[in-house]
Structure 1
Amino acid sequence: MKINRYKKLVLCILLDAVGYVSFIIPGVGEFSDAVWAPISAWIMIKLYKGTAGKVAGVVSFVEEALPGVDVIPTFTIMWCYTEFFTEEKKEKSLSK
């Protein structure tokens, strides 16, 4: 099933917001990061296929597992990367 690119952007923003929950609820932060890190990596791999998705999954896991770097919007950055910087998108824009 292919997801519309803007629906995927909204989903990515929401997933990044879930990662921010550890900052909102005091005392729950580290536990929620330990649970969220593997889940976010798995979702990233499912959203973005191929090598880029696997690399993004590892980055997402590390970003969520390390304290203090949860503020990086990994899902949204990956969406921007796939929309604006991948070869497939460059070829489409050049052929127009």
Structure 2
Amino acid sequence: MIKKKKYKLLLLGLLFDGIGMLSLLMPGIGEFTDLIWAPVAGWLMTKMYKGNPGKIAGLIAFIEEIVPGLDIIPSFTLMWLYTYIFKGNNSVTIEEN
């Protein structure tokens, strides 16, 4: 069950990274969509990853989305890699509703 939720986080992260990169396909207006997506991405990151790591990742995701040209960085995927590969955390931190 934990493994399933772990990979659910990965799939959600890939989806959110893809949404963030969509603005690159719309030159001129894509930067304005980042004004909406940046706070949403930051909030989502804090909901997906709890505690200080989630707060820091949320801030990084916000900055990455709000600064033009940084949309190419897959912050959600990088956070998943940090949490489950580099740090070796096997617990799941997604909020269940």
What is the rounded CA distance, in whole Å, between the counterparts of 1:26 and 1:79 in structure 2? 29
Q: Which residue of 2 aligns with 1:94?
A: none
Q: Structure 1 residue runs of 4+, over 4 Å off?
A: none
Per-residue deviation, 1:24: 1.1
Question: What's the CA shift string for 1:35-94, capped at 9, x where partnerless?
Answer: 1000000000000000000000000000001011110000000000000122644xxxxx
Q: Classify the secondary structure of the residue corresponding to 1:4.
A: helix
Structure 2: runs of 5 or more not aligned: 91-97
Assess, with a 3 A threshold, how the Cα gap between structure 1 residues 66 and 85 changes in structure 2: closer, same or farther. Answer: same
Superposition RMSD in Å:
1.6
> Mapping of 1:1-96 within 5 angstroms?
4-86=5-87, 88-89=89-90
Matched-pair identity in %: 48
Structure exhibiting the larger radius of gyration computed from Cα positions: 1
Q: Which residue of 2 aligns with 1:93?
A: none
Structure 1: runs of 5 or more not aligned: 90-96
Alignment length (residue pairs): 88
